[in-house]
């Protein structure tokens, strides 16, 4: 049975193949032949490399291919619009006729090429392909159907084609030419050069390295801002040619192009384009009172290697940036480094011991090493958030105007007297960054940067910065001094303790000082939890506050550490000495594994609330610290202490209205 089915299927396949071969394939071939017959041009349309369009009026436009771009070569030399050229070539490749008839039959019907407008065609298109020349002549519009007569390249056949052919081929000159002046895209630009006219005759040259960084090569060697340079190049690439002058009107001396006021050059991959700016086409409009001047001014211009002269509207903000490129395109950052590559840094200040912050092995955390009171250096854990914030601020430290009109870049070659006036004879901060692989310029290994920050007593509110291996001096905002104090406590880890999951808080007591009056208390032999507090003999509001306080004590954090050391008598704070107002005692039980559990008591002394968000705490634990509590702990402590001082207690029971009022007793005067 299976063999019969197989034979039947094989037979059906043979029949289907025979049908396709003998019946359907000739139809396909016939359709292909018909389609090919309707095409006006053959394979020559696929390799067009130049074409010339001529009209009855004598206007001639020539466009040719150069490497991978198209150029107008007549009536003047200028880059062609690639979209317009692609549209023309695509139209020629897909050009089909509605009908056609041979030229040889015209004489028999008493007609000639002139009857179809082909003796003196409206448009003539000559193109070259694979080294051969071809000519298409476009004649008059047909009487019916709004179509055109077209003479084939060999002159033997007249085609009737769609009128869209003339619209595509007959594009105006301003559509055929590229609108923009420069053709080097920003990603290809390797160099940007600018030169002003005499007497300044300032030459500015910027170059991009292999890593994509921009730098000045003239008139100074300095870093350039990548974003500012590329925004400027994009603005330059957006410049367009407005009007093209006739050769008889191009007196270069009169137009200011023999001695251009400005030269602008973009260099790309094996190509260079230079724009020359001459005189403005008209006198610039006067700047209105309080205004910023005209948005753009039209100038006579030309490309250095081309004869054609045109006009272009130059935005004045762009021209101002180009003329002041030495400052406007400069990288305003004082330091150039990757914060992730810093392995350690030191901070020094006048009269203060040097402070070192080091990254731990494996990159897991930081530690502070400082010498205090002529003692041996003592490492303490550093807060990664504080360290990362300082490194980020140093990486973003930029030249700024302390006030409008003041210079950002004070000097590129300062004298010794200038350095002294700016406070560099005794810098307020000396910060040295040690970077690992790839942290510095060009990916140098073991690179070191030293930043000096000076303050002049004659200029309050201003600060100055320089890098010791560079001559530049920048004006900066002085907030970097507050962000980088030479104090170990500023970088200390804010997390004082994190209890393990097995540890249990069993009691909490808040008392006043110095009389030790009880403010709030909670205890549970097993563990203090929000659930166990539900049975505590206290108000519902107090239980919620205590539950929040338990979370703060489990993960005890400092908002900041103060300027003083811990003493049980008073708190040494940035606001001055403050008395301790409350004591918070917390008992913690740590499981001992196979042995007995261990009990530890933490005592925190607290000041009163100083201002809206400030309260200080101190403890002899953790090496003896005084710190500013977090806002969450401040709210909890303040809620407990405020309620204890101002809570009027439960309301008195209401008296029975029917009961007779008591007669007040007469007061007995005191005996003498």
Q: Report helix, strand or coil for 11.
A: helix
pLDDT band of 512, cuts 50, 70, 90: very high
Helices (H), 219-292: 226-237, 252-255
pLDDT band of 134, cuts 50, 70, 90: very high
Supply the CATH classification number for the domain 339-491. 2.60.40
Higher pLDDT, 657 or 466: 466
What pLDDT is recorded for position 528?
86
Q: With pLDDT > 90 as the criterion, what percentage of the chain qualifies?
A: 50
Of the listed ranges 141-145, 330-334, 644-648, the least confidently predicted one is 644-648
Q: What is the pLDDT of residues 457-466, one digit of tens each?
A: 887 788 999 9
Rounded to the nearest integer, the mean pLDDT of the chain is 85
Alpha carbon 589 to its chain centroid, in Å, reads: 52
The topology under which CATH files domain 496-646 is Immunoglobulin-like (2.60.40)
pLDDT band of 304, cuts 50, 70, 90: very high
Strand partners, 564: none
Q: What is the pLDDT of residues 332-382, one digit of tens each?
A: 999 999 999 999 999 999 988 899 999 998 778 999 998 766 667 778 899
Structure tokens at 32: 């292909």
What pLDDT is recorded for position 38?
81
Q: What's the mean pLDDT in 233-247?
A: 93
What pLDDT is recorded for position 31?
45
Give the pairing type, strands 463-467 and 378-382: unpaired
Q: Do domains 339-491 and 496-646 have the same CATH topology?
A: yes
Distance in angstroms (rounded) separating the CA atoms of residues 23 and 54:
49
Look at residue 306 and tell me whether its pLDDT is greater than 60.
Answer: yes
Distance in angstroms (rounded) separating the CA atoms of residues 69 and 603:
81
Element (H, E) at 395: helix 384-396
Distance in angstroms (rounded) separating the CA atoms of residues 578 and 639:
20
**Domain spans of the chain, in order of start:** 43-176, 191-283+293-328, 339-491, 496-646
What pLDDT is recorded for position 382?
94
What pLDDT is recorded for position 39?
87
Strand partners, 194: 204, 264
Q: 488: how many CB neighbours lie within 10 A of its CB? A: 23
Q: 371: how many CB neighbours lie within 10 A of its CB? A: 14
Q: What's the mean pLDDT in 60-89?
A: 92
pLDDT band of 468, cuts 50, 70, 90: confident
pTM, entire model: 0.74
Look at residue 649 and tell me whether its pLDDT is greater than 80.
Answer: no
CB within 8 A of 336, min separation 6: which ones? Answer: 223, 440, 441
Q: Which of 99-103, 230-234, 245-249 has the highest mean pLDDT?
A: 230-234
In 3D space, the residue among 261, 431, 274, 460 whose CA is nearest the CA of residue 346 turns out to be 431
Find the helix packing angle between 226-237 and 316-323, rounded to 10°: 130
The phi-psi region of residue 655 (left if phi > 0; otherwise alpha if psi is between -120 and 50; otherwise beta) is beta
Q: What's the mean pLDDT in 592-598?
A: 73
Q: What is the pLDDT of residues 528-587, one digit of tens each?
A: 888 888 776 667 778 888 888 999 999 999 999 987 688 999 998 888 889 999 999 999
Q: What is the pLDDT of residues 161-202, one digit of tens each?
A: 998 888 889 899 989 999 899 999 999 999 999 999 877 788
Distance in angstroms (rounded) separating the CA atoms of residues 97 and 99:
5
CB within 8 A of 264, min separation 6: which ones? Answer: 193, 194, 236, 274, 275, 277, 322
Q: Please, are residues 44 and 100 in contact by the beta-carbon 8 Å criterion?
A: no
Look at residue 310 and tell me whether its pLDDT is greater than 50.
Answer: yes
Q: Please, are residues 306 and 78 in contact by the beta-carbon 8 Å criterion?
A: yes
Look at residue 656 and tell me whether its pLDDT is greater than 70.
Answer: no
Is the bond leading into 470 cis (omega within 30 degrees of zero)?
Answer: no
Alpha carbon 154 to its chain centroid, in Å, reads: 60
Of the listed ranges 259-263, 377-381, 618-622, the least confidently predicted one is 377-381
Q: Please, are residues 310 and 241 in contact by the beta-carbon 8 Å criterion?
A: yes
Distance in angstroms (rounded) separating the CA atoms of residues 10 and 4:
10
Of the listed ranges 47-61, 340-354, 374-388, 611-625, the least confidently predicted one is 374-388
Q: What's the mean pLDDT in 404-414?
A: 78
């Amino acid at each position: 049975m299976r063999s019969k089915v197989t034979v039947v299927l094989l037979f059906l396949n043979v029949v289907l193949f025979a049908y396709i071969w003998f019946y359907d394939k000739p139809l396909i071939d016939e359709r292909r032949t018909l389609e090919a017959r309707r095409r006006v041009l053959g394979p020559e349309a696929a390799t067009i490399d130049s074409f010339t369009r001529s009209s009855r009026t004598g206007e001639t436009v020539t466009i040719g291919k150069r490497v991978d771009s198209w150029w107008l070569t007549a009536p003047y030399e200028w880059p062609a619009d690639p979209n317009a050229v692609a549209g023309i070539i695509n139209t020629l490749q897909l050009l089909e006729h509605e009908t056609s008839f041979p030229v040889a039959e015209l004489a028999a019907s008493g007609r000639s090429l002139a009857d179809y407008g082909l003796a003196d065609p409206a448009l003539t298109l000559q193109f070259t392909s694979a080294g051969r020349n071809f000519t298409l002549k476009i004649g008059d519009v047909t009487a019916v159907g709004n179509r055109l007569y077209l003479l084939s390249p060999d002159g033997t056949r007249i085609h009737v084609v769609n009128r869209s052919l003339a619209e595509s081929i007959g594009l105006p000159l301003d559509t055929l030419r590229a609108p923009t002046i420069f053709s080097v895209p920003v990603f290809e630009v390797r160099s940007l050069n600018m030169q002003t006219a005499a007497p300044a005759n300032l030459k500015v040259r910027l170059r991009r390295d292999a890593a994509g960084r921009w730098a000045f090569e003239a008139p100074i060697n300095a870093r350039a801002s990548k974003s500012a340079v590329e925004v400027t190049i994009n603005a330059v690439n957006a410049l367009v040619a407005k009007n093209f002058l006739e050769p008889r009107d191009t007196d270069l001396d009169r137009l200011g192009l023999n001695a251009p006021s400005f030269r602008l050059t973009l260099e790309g991959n094996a190509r260079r384009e230079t724009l020359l700016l001459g005189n403005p086409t008209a006198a610039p409009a006067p700047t209105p009172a309080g205004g910023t001047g005209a948005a753009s001014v039209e100038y006579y211009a030309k490309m250095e290697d081309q004869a054609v002269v045109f006009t272009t509207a130059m935005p004045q903000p762009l021209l101002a940036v180009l003329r002041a490129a030495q400052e406007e395109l400069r990288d305003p950052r004082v330091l150039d480094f990757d914060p992730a590559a810093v392995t350690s840094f030191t901070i020094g200040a006048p009269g203060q011991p040097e402070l070192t912050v080091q990254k731990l092995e494996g990159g897991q955390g930081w530690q502070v090493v400082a010498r205090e009171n002529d003692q041996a250096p003592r490492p303490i854990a550093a807060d990664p958030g504080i360290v990362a914030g300082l490194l980020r601020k140093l990486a973003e430290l930029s030249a700024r105007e302390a006030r409008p009109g003041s210079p950002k870049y004070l000097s590129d070659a300062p004298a010794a007297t200038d350095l002294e006036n700016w406070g560099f004879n005794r810098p307020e901060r000396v910060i040295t960054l040690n970077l690992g692989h790839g942290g510095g310029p060009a990916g140098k290994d073991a690179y070191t940067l030293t930043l000096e920050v000076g303050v002049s007593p004659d200029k309050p509110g201003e600060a100055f910065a320089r890098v010791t291996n560079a001559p530049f001096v920048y004006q900066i905002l002085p907030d970097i001094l507050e962000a980088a104090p030479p104090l170990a406590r500023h970088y200390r880890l804010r997390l004082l303790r994190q209890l393990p999951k097995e540890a249990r808080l069993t009691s909490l007591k808040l008392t006043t000082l110095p009389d030790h009056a009880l403010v709030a208390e909670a205890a549970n032999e097993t563990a203090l939890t929000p659930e166990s507090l539900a049975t505590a003999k206290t108000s519902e509001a107090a239980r919620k506050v205590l539950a929040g306080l338990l979370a703060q004590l489990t993960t005890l954090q400092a908002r900041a550490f103060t300027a003083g050391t811990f003493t049980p008598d008073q708190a040494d704070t940035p606001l001055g000495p403050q008395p301790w107002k409350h004591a918070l005692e917390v008992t913690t039980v740590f499981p001992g594994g196979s042995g007995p559990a261990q009990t530890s008591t933490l005592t925190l002394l607290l000041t009163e609330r100083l201002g809206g968000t400030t309260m200080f705490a101190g403890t002899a634990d953790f090496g003896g610290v005084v710190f500013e509590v977090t806002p969450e702990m401040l709210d909890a402590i303040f809620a407990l202490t405020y309620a204890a001082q101002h809570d009027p207690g439960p309301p008195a029971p209401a008296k029975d209205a029917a009961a007779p009022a008591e007669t007040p007793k007469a007061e007995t005067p005191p005996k003498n």
